[in-house]
């Protein structure tokens, strides 16, 4: 029986390798499923360049749908949540807004975080990110304002019919 690793290696869609602590990986539901599968003996550090990994390495969790930029935000989120279990829903939303501000994130980044949180099975992040989108929509006073805020083009008359 193999022991759980102290760190999990994750390879993002753009080839960046992250070492994720066991504490952070507990926040990510997908990693728990992956760790429970038979992945072979875990190697905590790859030989050679630590920023690159072979895509077929059984000791590296590939995330084909998530970029390094988005995964970096998610790792920061999970580190803070893991260290502060007492944080409530409102504080989670404020925390996410702060992380997005630090990353100089656009609305498109927030949507990427939503997709990644859903894929990675991080419920608290999914709730906080969708709440931020809902708040942004509620702050708009018209459909046109929502279209402008989220860069949604007006449909052509042919599309409407």
For 38-95, the DSSP string reads ---S--SS-SS-TT---TT-TTEEEETT--HHHHHHHHHHHHHHHH-TT--HHHHHHH
Q: Report the first-to-last Cα separation within the chain, whole angstroms.
A: 62
Q: Which residue has the higher pLDDT, 136 or 32?
A: 136
pLDDT for 154 equals 85
Domain-embedded: residue 153:
no
Domain-embedded: residue 156:
no
CATH code of 125's domain: 3.30.710.10
What sign for the dihedral angle of Cα 137, 132, 17, 42? Answer: negative
Task: Give residue-wise pLDDT tens across range 7-45.
Answer: 788 899 999 999 988 888 878 876 555 554 544 433 333
pLDDT for 49 equals 40
Distance (Å, rounded) from C-alpha 18 to C-alpha 99?
Answer: 18
pTM: 0.75
Domain-embedded: residue 152:
no
Task: Give residue-wise pLDDT tens across range 89-120.
Answer: 678 899 999 999 999 999 999 999 999 999 99
Task: Report how many domains make up the chain.
Answer: 1
Q: Looking at the DSSP assignment, which residues form a beta bridge with residue 7?
A: 21
Sheet holding 17-21, edge to edge: 17-21, 7-12, 60-63
Strands 7-12 and 60-63: parallel
pLDDT for 36 equals 47
CB-based burial, 106-134: b 16+ in 10 Å, e otherwise: eeebbebbbebbebbebebbbebbbbbee
Task: Give residue-wise pLDDT tens across range 70-83.
Answer: 999 999 998 988 88
Domain-embedded: residue 146:
no
pLDDT for 2 equals 47
pLDDT for 32 equals 53
Range of the domain at 50: 7-139
Other CB atoms within 10 A of residue 46 CB:
17
């Amino acid at each position: 029986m193999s022991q759980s690793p102290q760190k999990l290696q994750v390879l993002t869609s753009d080839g960046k390798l992250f070492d994720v602590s066991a504490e952070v990986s507990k926040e990510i539901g997908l990693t728990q499923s992956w760790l429970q599968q038979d992945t072979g003996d875990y190697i905590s550090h790859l030989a050679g360049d630590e920023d690159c990994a072979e895509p077929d390495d059984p000791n590296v969790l590939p995330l084909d749908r998530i970029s390094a930029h988005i995964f970096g935000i998610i790792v920061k989120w999970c580190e803070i949540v893991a260290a502060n279990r007492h944080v409530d829903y409102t504080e989670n939303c404020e925390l996410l807004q702060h992380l997005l501000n630090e990353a100089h994130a656009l609305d498109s980044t927030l949507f990427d975080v939503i997709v990644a949180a859903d894929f990675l099975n991080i419920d608290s992040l999914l709730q906080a990110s969708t709440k931020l989108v809902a708040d942004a929509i509620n702050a708009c006073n018209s459909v046109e304002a929502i279209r402008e805020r989220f860069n949604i083009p007006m449909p052509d008359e042919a599309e409407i019919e």
